[in-house]
């Protein structure tokens, strides 16, 4: 199976700065051991058209929301239970959905997020998420953004039928755990308050996978 950035994500993502409406902020630990499929497992392929990853970002006075697309992925199911999975996020698909009065300003934001200040999309065009464990309603996995891999865990609602798996999750990560420190008030003490960007990244993931 391919290694994958959920989910999710995202991307990280992607990926992406957030306010606190994307679930609790998760702890970022050392890289875990990736879960593997068994001979009894059934593989479901992610439907990239039906699956969605949303992000929310925030400065002091206002925020932005957007989307980013899953490039590919697959999950393994055994006895009706999710056991393993890998997902890839296409960082080049990062887009803003917030209504803005200035279209040029929207394009400037997305361009800045893709730049070396944040996600270095030219050098790292994808982010990845690989499941390490599914237990007690929580999914744990290795989230790779840029060249940094951290294990995170978050609650998820997973439903499995004979032909389809759906999963929904909301969680928030601290972007500085992946080395993204631009305009972080925790790293730049002389930063003006109205220039500081939240360290948090909120993700809302809706995953659909089919046989």
Note the pLDDT of residue 52: 96
Q: What is the pTM of this model?
A: 0.84
Task: Report domain extents, the chain.
Answer: 42-210
Whether the Cβ atoms of residue 145 and residue 13 lie closer than 8 Å to each other = yes
Cβ neighbors of 111 (< 8 A, separation 6 or more) are none
Check whether 59 has a pLDDT greater than 50.
yes
* pLDDT above 90 for 108: no
d(CA 39, CA 146): 33
Q: Select the more confidently predicted residue: 11 or 130.
A: 130
Q: For 42-210, give the CATH class.
A: mainly beta
User: How buried is 47 (Cβ within 10 angstroms: 0-12 exposed, 13-18 middle, 19+ buried)?
Assistant: middle
- Which residues partner with 75 through β-bridges? 44, 85
Q: What is the mean pLDDT of the chain?
A: 84
Helix (H, G, I), strand (E, B) or coil at 173: strand
Helices (H), 48-196: 103-114
Residue 11 clears pLDDT 50, i.e. is over it: no
As given in the structure block, the two tokens for residue 50 are: 């039906």
Percent of the chain with pLDDT over 70: 77
In terms of pLDDT, which residue wins out, 95 or 88? 88
Q: Determine the average pLDDT of the residues in 88-117.
A: 80
Higher pLDDT among residues 95 and 101, named by residue: 95
């Amino acid at each position: 199976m391919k290694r994958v950035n959920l989910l999710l994500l995202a991307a990280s993502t992607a990926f992406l700065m957030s306010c606190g409406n994307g679930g609790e902020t998760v702890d970022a630990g050392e890289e875990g051991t990736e879960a593997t499929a068994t001979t009894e497992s059934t593989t479901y392929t992610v439907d990239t058209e039906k699956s969605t990853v949303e992000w929310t970002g925030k400065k002091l006075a206002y925020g932005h929301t957007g989307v980013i697309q899953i490039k590919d992925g697959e999950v393994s199911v055994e006895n009706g239970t999710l056991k393993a999975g890998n997902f890839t996020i296409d960082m080049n698909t990062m887009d803003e959905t917030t209504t803005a009065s200035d279209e040029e300003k929207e394009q400037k934001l997305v361009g800045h997020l893709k730049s070396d200040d944040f996600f270095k999309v030219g050098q790292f065009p994808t982010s990845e998420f690989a499941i390490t464990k599914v237990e007690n309603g929580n999914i744990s996995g290795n989230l790779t953004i840029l060249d940094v891999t951290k294990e995170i865990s978050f609650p998820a609602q997973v439903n499995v039928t004979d032909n389809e798996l759906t999963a929904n999750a909301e969680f928030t990560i601290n972007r500085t755990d992946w080395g993204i420190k631009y305009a972080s008030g925790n790293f730049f003490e002389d930063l003006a308050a109205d220039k500081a960007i939240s360290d948090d990244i909120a993700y809302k993931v809706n995953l659909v996978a089919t046989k």
